[in-house]
Amino acid sequence: MDIRTVGIVGAGQMGSGIAHVFALAGYEVLMADISREALDGAVASIERNLDRQASRGKISDADKAAALSRIRTTLTLTDLGPLDLIIEAATERETVKQAIFEDLRPHLKPHTILTSNTSSISITRLASRTDRPEKFMGFHFMNPVPVMQLVELIRGIATDEETYRTLLGVVERLGKTAASAEDFPAFIVNRILMPMINEAVYTLYEGVGNVKSIDESMKLGANHPMGPLELADFIGLDTCLAIMNVLHEGLADTKYRPCPLLTKYVEAGWLGRKTQRGFYDYRGPVPVPTR
């Protein structure tokens, strides 16, 4: 199937990044959100990021202008119905995702492929709430989308080969690399990454090290570009907790139990960079460890 038009549900960090790369690759993009402020902020963010790419010589000014001209926005979710491919990039809560797909259902064209950018939730279960489980897949981009090269493609139990091959072609056109994952909790990247972050929080919780020593140990001792607690703040502590809960509930293994300290930070509303406080305090000129 030839994908030409793409709908994106959600104008947050992931949704705007996905819109950016699709528009730059020549797709017509329609981005939907319940907030006009979020949509306007997403377009402004995309323009800034395109400017950055142009200033570094990675794209031309003409490429930037063409990409921006391909992006439209709407407050009406059902406007996405006639498009070839829909990517849900809303909050990591299954009830929200299910409601989005149910609202879209009466407005879809027969050929429309549905996907979710979920980082952990069962693709088979999400697909079962639609009228086209054979045309449903997990389409998991990494953050920040314009920079990161990997896309996880996750087939549900009913996903057909044509849908998989179509999305494989889309990933190639985006200039990214696809990793095929089976439909198990958190797939590949987060199945490995999130327990490491959770263990770093346990290391902090138990007093083995403070925020600075833990992050410096992993950056200088394991050559990680970012420490695990700094990375958790970048991802969002609420997202980290949600994924750990999916792992813990889905695999029923105590090794995936979320650290109580991670839960406390989320309860406090200290979610990382997006709230200006997490394992670091970002309200000043330099991030300061909070423990």
Active-site annotation, residues: 119, 140, 152, 190
CA distance 230 to 215: 7
Query: In the predicted model, is pLDDT for residue 290 greater than 90?
Result: yes
pLDDT in tens, 219-272: 999 999 999 999 999 999 999 999 999 999 999 999 999 999 999 999 999 999
Q: What would the mean pLDDT of 153-171 be, rounded to a whole number?
A: 97
Mean pLDDT over each residue of the chain, to the nearest integer: 96
* pTM of the predicted protein model: 0.90
pLDDT confidence of residue 55: 94
pLDDT in tens, 2-38: 999 999 999 999 999 999 999 999 999 999 999 999 9
